[in-house]
Chain A
């Protein structure tokens, strides 16, 4: 399941709902990404999606993760719009029979989201606005799965 939303993410409620009705699931892994602040600076992130296209692309990657790691289920919830430091940007939940698959699928989905998901992120800090693009580290992390 993929949801792109301009509403705040409630990770506790999402995790509780995700864990409901799990017959043979033995492991749920979660990753929550927060907008990182800088000391003494009011930083705001602005996230933009391409309506429909973004959901389709992330949905395809969830399908790939399910097949690759034998997941029982996976959820990606991604914020768009203006996000203040400390607020949640992204929540990834994965369910599998055992922990290794759940952990790895979560890692895989985050590497994809950081480097290839159709989202554009602008940081409004003291130095003025700047578009954040994948770092060499982000690209190397994503290439681990190729």
Chain B
């Protein structure tokens, strides 16, 4: 299974914060395809400017293989302070 976390405006758009995908998609792009198939607006937002992806708490770019039991987080533009 793959655990997916959403933050910020992505969470509001999806109306969920955390979701488990089982069976797990093999790649990040496959996961994004599954998400977009369920919610086209969310799929488009994941492709939006400034959205970063963390795989097991490390930032990744492009398509990557998803190991079993991994955690994927989609991170919209950040602002603290």
Residues of A within 8 A of B (CB): 33, 47-48, 50, 52-53, 56, 78, 89-90, 110, 113-122, 131-134, 138
Identify 14 residue pairs between A and B in the complex whose beta-carbon atoms are under 8 Å apart, listed by A's number. A50-B7, A53-B73, A90-B80, A90-B81, A114-B81, A117-B79, A117-B80, A119-B78, A120-B79, A121-B79, A131-B8, A131-B76, A133-B79, A138-B79
**Does B77 sit within 8 A of A, measured CB to CB?**
yes
Set of chain A residues within 8 Å of B79, measured between Cβ atoms:
114-115, 117, 119-121, 132-134, 138
Cβ of B61 < 8 Å from any Cβ of A? no
User: For B75, what are the chain A residues with a Cβ–Cβ distance below 8 Å?
Assistant: 50, 118
**Complex Cα gap A33–B80 (Å):** 10
Q: How far is the CB of B5 from chain A (nearest CB, A)?
A: 7
Distance, CA A139 to CA B12, complexed state (A): 24
How many residue pairs link A and B with beta carbons under 8 A? The number is 61
At the interface, yes or no: B19 with Cβ under 8 Å from chain A? no
Nearest residue, chain B, Cβ from A138 = B79
A8 and B79 alpha carbons, distance in the complex (Å): 19
User: Which of A50, A113, A117, A138 is the most central at the interface, judged by chain B CB atoms within 10 Å of its CB?
Assistant: A50
Quote the shortest CB–CB distance from B6 to chain A (angstroms).
10
Given A50-B7, A120-B7, are A113 and B73 also a contact pair (CB < 8 Å)?
Answer: no
State whether the Cβ of B68 lies closer than 8 Å to any Cβ in chain A: no
Minimum C-beta distance from A69 to chain B (A): 19
Q: Are A113 and B81 in contact (CB under 8 A)?
A: yes
Nearest Cβ distance between residue B79 and chain A, in whole angstroms?
5
Given that A48-B7, A50-B7, A120-B8 are known contacts, is A134 also in contact with B77, CB under 8 Å in the complex? Answer: yes
Contact of A120 among B57, B76, B81 (CB under 8 A): B76
How does the 8 Å CB contact mask read for B1-28 relative to A, with 1 for contact and 0 for none? 0000101110010000000000000000
Contacts of B76 in A (CB 8 A): 120, 131, 133
Across-interface contacts of A52 in B (CB, < 8 A)? 57
Closest CB in chain A relative to B45 CB, distance in Å = 12
